[in-house]
């Protein structure tokens, strides 16, 4: 059903894929200069313990070992840099460990096997302590994650509106009053949004070389934020940013887990500099479960107060979010991203408060959606429960409470939203899915005794960060020696033979940026796609760059690419006008050449224009040589994509097994450059939301042991467990960037988990089930049915 062309481009095949499919793409672990040393870490088996002593003697004497480091050796480098450093982490545990798997010592050896062998010879004497793992226990605070803390709660995010205590109190009073109304219906559920372990196909890897002669680091890392990592390294070692050349080569998935600075990245640089040899660390799959951030991990109670006829009078969310043992890049800010969209697409007064607590677990941070899947999950689950309570169709309840079509509306949480047309989108979904027919199908199957359910959910999200003003809200890149802004950066150079090279500030990890950015440059300049090269994820190619995360790349750096293309084209127009002896305003670009309006035969190719640009004597007087432009783009607002999803599921009453029969989406990300790539983003995004709904769960026992460190126990969705996605779009462009585009990288995740849970609850609600916490593994669904039967 999806169209294959768009106003901005078309379904151009991904130019990245041949290298990735044929195995010729280069990843960080492929970087192997002669003499590279390898790192293995000694990791704590305890969630919380004092380190009484560390004996590295045997390890240091083991075969192949070049160095063994502990906190003593690296203390002078300071803690790990972070944007919101509420509880920054030491590079190596220093006298105390705060989560199982925390690195205590670092072994450097001539090969990875010998390093691992020697790591087993490091003897650490621990005095283990009672950890705090459970979120509510952490909030209560009887046990502290760190002994020097008065409270585990490090910050609370509240609205709305955000940041106005008096107004928040008034909102609460208003909702309390609404509850007293005679026609008031109050529906409340406590729900868990479980801890997830981001699972990129490529684990993280970092390779560092130090050139003492040049005083320069050469670093490769599997990161989403090349410039920030380079800046962090520069800051730690007291160097100029330009003394750190950092490349993020092919990155095999990031999902926010590589939107971070990790101790191992700093430590690998430290070892390379100390030893004067190349050093590499590549985490193993099992190690990644404790050495890379986790996501989600919330418990919250959502409450809707409304009337019997579907008018929502107030929404309240009160909860606690798990930060893990420390704060890394964005850790404590993740729930804030949820608060941004705390009232969803609705107009009702909203009170929202989430306490951020430290626990003795792996640090949490951004994972695809980052706060927004949690926010939409709670809201859209409770809207569904409310619709069920009053016996109204969930589509009708939603439409009744949506914002009308708008431009620049202020949400009840207090944030300005760019554009929205929610009812149109939901109506389009209902038509596309044949909602009435779907319900008839469901009812027919139910009549056969089958447990079939339909789940509906809509979402708005906020992405495309974004505005320079975000720095005022506490997001700052200055900890990484970068300007405190979220600007996009694009440097477009027309090469002497008439092709073009675009150096972009993003760092893709599979999103197809090389294709999309080339389409943007091609559309504006007319330079053929196959003559446009896109360079990314490298601090030497691009003057600056914030990286790829928060569905920001197209809306910010893509817009910068558009503006750089315009600047280059403007100058090229002058050159072409001169060469063609035509008026500048008559010059039109297309098909690899500049043409003169009204004179079909008069044209000059990009090769001829470039030739003139690089031979200044051919230029008109007053025009300098070269043909390139650097554009920084800072939008006035983030973008607010939205959409609606429907899932149809069947539950096996004997086993609780959930089968996904249909998954239908109607998403709106404004204008689309490459429809195929947008669909691909939605497929992957929805797969991860469905993974959370049905399978994924990072499980800790009471002592803080992570029980799900392999893919045998941490279950991710597979192609075999997913249906064929049925997708279509509405198009509501934004005005905050010149392309009219909104982000789409996370929308599929933000819209999907609650759609699945709503569908499963619909299938078993008549048995008395109100809610089942994710993941909806067969055992939980079966148990919920048994419990309802017993009740």
Binding footprint of another protein on the chain (CB under 8 A):
40, 112-113, 116-117, 284-287, 654-655, 657-659, 694-695, 699, 707-708, 710, 712-713, 715, 717-718, 720-721, 777-779, 782-783
Q: Is 60 exposed, middle or buried (0-12, 13-18, 19+ CB in 10 A)?
A: middle
Complex with another protein: residue 447 or 712, whichever CB lies closer: 712
Complex with another protein: residue 50 or 286, whichever CB lies closer: 286
Beta strands in 390-536 (DSSP E): 406-410, 416-420, 451-460, 488-494, 500-504, 532-535
339 within 8 A of 159, measured Cβ to Cβ: yes
- Residue 281: CB minimum distance to another protein, A: 13
- Residue 782: CB minimum distance to another protein, A: 6
- Residue 297: CB minimum distance to another protein, A: 17
CB atoms within 10 A of CB 584: 14
H/E stretch holding 524: helix 513-525
- Residue 789: CB minimum distance to another protein, A: 13
Partners of residue 642 on adjacent β-strands: 460, 668
Q: Is 592 left (phi over 0), alpha (psi -120 to 50) or beta?
A: left
**Buried/exposed code over 733-765 (b: 16+ C-beta within 10 A; e: otherwise):** bbebbebbbbbbbbbbbbbbbbbbbbbbbbbbb
3-state SS class at 92: coil
307 within 8 A of 363, measured Cβ to Cβ: no
Token reading at 413: 């949480």
- Residue 495: CB minimum distance to another protein, A: 43
Complex with another protein: residue 118 or 395, whichever CB lies closer: 118
Altogether, the residues listed in the chain come to a count of 791
Complex with another protein: residue 318 or 657, whichever CB lies closer: 657
Locus of tokens 């007087």? 621
- Which residues does 621 contact at the CB level (< 8 Å), separation at least 6? none
Complex with another protein: residue 129 or 199, whichever CB lies closer: 199
CB atoms within 10 A of CB 719: 6
Complex with another protein: residue 392 or 715, whichever CB lies closer: 715
Complex with another protein: residue 347 or 721, whichever CB lies closer: 721
- Residue 710: CB minimum distance to another protein, A: 8
Complex with another protein: residue 61 or 713, whichever CB lies closer: 713
- Residue 196: CB minimum distance to another protein, A: 15
Token reading at 399: 């439409």
Cα 323 from chain centroid?
16
- Residue 282: CB minimum distance to another protein, A: 10
- Residue 194: CB minimum distance to another protein, A: 13
- Residue 219: CB minimum distance to another protein, A: 23
741 within 8 A of 668, measured Cβ to Cβ: no
3-state SS class at 557: helix
> Cα-atom radius of gyration of the chain, to the nearest Å?
27
- In 3D space, the residue among 356, 204, 223, 192 whose CA is nearest the CA of residue 289 turns out to be 204
Pairing relationship of beta strands 279-282 and 184-193 according to DSSP bridges: unpaired
Complex with another protein: residue 281 or 340, whichever CB lies closer: 281
Complex with another protein: residue 390 or 715, whichever CB lies closer: 715
């Amino acid at each position: 059903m999806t169209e294959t062309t768009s106003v901005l481009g078309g379904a151009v095949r991904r130019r990245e894929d041949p290298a990735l499919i044929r195995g010729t793409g280069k990843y960080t672990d492929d970087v192997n200069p002669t003499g590279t040393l390898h790192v293995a870490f000694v990791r704590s088996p305890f969630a919380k313990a004092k380190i009484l002593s560390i004996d590295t003697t045997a390890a240091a004497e083991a075969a192949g070992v070049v160095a063994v480091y502990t906190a003593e050796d690296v203390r002078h480098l300071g803690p790990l840099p972070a944007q919101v450093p509420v509880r920054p982490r030491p590079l190596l545990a220093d006298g105390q460990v705060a989560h199982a798997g925390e690195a205590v010592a670092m072994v450097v050896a001539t090969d990875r096997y010998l390093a691992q062998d020697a790591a087993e010879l490091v003897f650490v004497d621990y005095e283990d302590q009672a950890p705090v793992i459970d979120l509510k226990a952490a909030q209560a605070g009887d046990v502290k994650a760190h002994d020097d803390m008065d409270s585990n709660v490090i910050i609370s995010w509240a609205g709305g509106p955000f940041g106005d205590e008096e107004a928040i109190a008034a909102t609460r009073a208003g909702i309390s009053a609404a509850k007293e109304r005679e026609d008031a219906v109050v529906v409340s559920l406590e729900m868990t949004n479980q801890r997830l372990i981001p699972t990129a196909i490529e684990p993280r890897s970092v390779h560092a070389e130090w050139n003492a002669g040049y005083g320069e680091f050469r670093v490769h890392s599997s990161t989403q934020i090349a410039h920030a990592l380079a800046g962090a390294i520069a800051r730690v070692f007291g160097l100029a940013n330009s003394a750190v050349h950092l490349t993020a080569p092919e990155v095999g998935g990031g999902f926010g887990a590589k939107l971070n600075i990790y101790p191992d990245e700093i430590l690998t640089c430290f070892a390379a500099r100390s030893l004067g040899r190349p050093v590499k660390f590549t985490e193993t799959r099992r190690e990644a479960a404790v050495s890379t951030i986790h996501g989600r991990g919330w418990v919250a109670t959502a409450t809707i107060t409304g009337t019997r006829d579907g008018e929502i009078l107030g929404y309240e969310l009160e909860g606690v979010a798990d930060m893990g043992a420390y704060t890394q890049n964005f850790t404590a800010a993740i729930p804030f991203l949820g608060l941004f969209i705390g009232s969803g697409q609705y107009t009702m007064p909203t009170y929202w408060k989430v306490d951020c607590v430290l626990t003795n677990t792996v640090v949490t941070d951004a994972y695809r959606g980052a706060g927004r899947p949690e926010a939409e999950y709670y809201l859209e689950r409770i809207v569904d429960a409310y619709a069920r309570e009053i016996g109204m169709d969930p589509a009708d309840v939603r439409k009744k409470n949506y914002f009308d079509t708008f431009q620049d509306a202020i949400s009840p949480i207090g944030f300005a939203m760019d554009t929205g047309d929610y009812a149109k989108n939901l109506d389009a979904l209902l038509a596309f899915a044949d909602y009435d027919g779907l319900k008839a199908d469901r009812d027919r199957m139910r009549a056969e005794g089958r447990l079939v359910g339909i789940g509906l959910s809509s979402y708005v999200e906020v992405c495309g960060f974004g505005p320079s003003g975000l720095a005022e809200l506490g997001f700052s890149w200055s900890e990484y020696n970068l300007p405190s802004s979220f600007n996009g950066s694009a440097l477009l150079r027309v090469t002497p033979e008439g092709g073009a090279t675009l150096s972009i500030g993003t760092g893709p990890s599979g999103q197809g940026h090389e294709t999309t950015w080339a389409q943007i440059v091609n559309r504006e300049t007319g330079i053929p796609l196959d003559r446009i090269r896109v360079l990314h994820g490298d601090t030497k190619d691009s003057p600056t760059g914030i990286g790829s995360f928060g569905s920001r790349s197209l809306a910010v750096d893509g817009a910068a690419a558009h503006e750089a293309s315009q600047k280059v084209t403007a100058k090229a127009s002058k050159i072409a006008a001169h060469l063609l002896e035509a008026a500048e305003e008559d010059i039109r670009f297309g098909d690899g050449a500049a043409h003169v309006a009204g004179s079909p035969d008069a044209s000059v190719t990009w090769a001829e224009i470039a030739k003139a640009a690089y031979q200044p004597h051919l230029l008109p007087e007053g025009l300098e040589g070269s043909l390139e432009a650097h554009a920084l783009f800072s939008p006035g607002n983030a973008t607010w994509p939205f959409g609606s999803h429907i899932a149809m599921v069947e539950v096996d009453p004997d086993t609780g097994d959930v089968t996904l029969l249909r998954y239908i989406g109607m998403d709106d990300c404004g204008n689309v450059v490459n429809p195929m790539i947008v669909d691909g983003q939605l497929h992957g995004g929805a797969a991860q939301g469905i993974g959370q709904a049905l399978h994924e769960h990072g499980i800790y026992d009471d002592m803080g042991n992570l029980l799900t460190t392999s893919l045998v126990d941490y279950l991710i969705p597979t192609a075999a467990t997913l249906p064929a996605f049925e997708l279509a779009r509405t198009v509501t462009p934004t005005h905050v960037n010149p392309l009219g585009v909104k982000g789409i990288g996370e929308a599929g995740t933000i819209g999907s988990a609650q759609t699945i849970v709503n569908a499963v609850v619909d299938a078993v609600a008549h048995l008395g089930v109100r809610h089942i916490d994710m993941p909806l593994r067969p055992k939980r669904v079966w148990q919920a049915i048994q419990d309802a039967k017993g009740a």
